[in-house]
């Protein structure tokens, strides 16, 4: 029998992420588990050409991004989710690396992530955070496609 005590939902606040949040809430309710919500603020200096992030981003960008993330994350998951406990965390860095580190550090049993469903060239160029996490995750991973509109 699988025991699930901690469910992680990494969120980028997208529609794909919202669909996965509903699934994560369902899993926490089914197993009486904690729900961990994680948002990673992308380290722009890691993906921009040398010096470009500093040149093109306003100085207050980081503080504003963090403030917006805190406000948005505090409103999740919403009143319909009946998780035993909710833990909210914001980190900064490479999303897939931060997600994997969070899983290891917090003994996560299940990660429920949204997938944007990119394929072809966009997938090749942008990569897939969900795919990278699935390949290296220390525990069970579940991906959820966005709800069709």
Q: What is the pTM of this model?
A: 0.86
DSSP one-letter string for 83-140: -SEEEEEEEEE-HHHHHHHHHHHTT-SEEEEE-----HHHHHHH--HHHHHHHH-SSE
| Structural domains of the chain, ranges and CATH numbers in brackets | 6-144 (3.40.50.620)
Per-residue pLDDT of the chain (149 residues; tens, 9 = 90+): 789 999 999 999 988 899 999 999 999 999 999 999 999 998 766 555 555 555 566 667 778 989 999 999 999 999 999 898 999 999 999 999 999 999 999 999 999 999 875 555 454 444 588 889 999 999 999 999 877 76
């Amino acid at each position: 029998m699988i025991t699930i005590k901690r469910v992680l939902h990494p969120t980028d606040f997208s529609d794909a992420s919202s669909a996965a949040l509903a699934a994560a809430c369902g899993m926490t309710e089914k197993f009486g588990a904690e729900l961990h919500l994680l948002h990673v603020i992308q380290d722009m200096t890691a993906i921009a050409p040398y010096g470009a992030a500093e040149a093109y981003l306003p100085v207050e960008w980081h503080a504003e991004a963090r403030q917006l993330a805190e406000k948005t994350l505090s409103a999740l998951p919403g009143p319909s989710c009946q998780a035993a406990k909710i833990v909210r965390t914001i980190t900064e860095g490479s999303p897939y690396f931060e997600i994997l580190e969070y899983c290891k550090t917090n003994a996560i049993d299940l990660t429920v992530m949204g997938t944007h469903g990119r394929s072809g060239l966009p997938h090749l160029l942008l990569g897939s955070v969900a795919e990278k996490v699935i390949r290296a995750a220390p525990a069970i991973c579940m991906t959820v496609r966005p709800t069709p509109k």
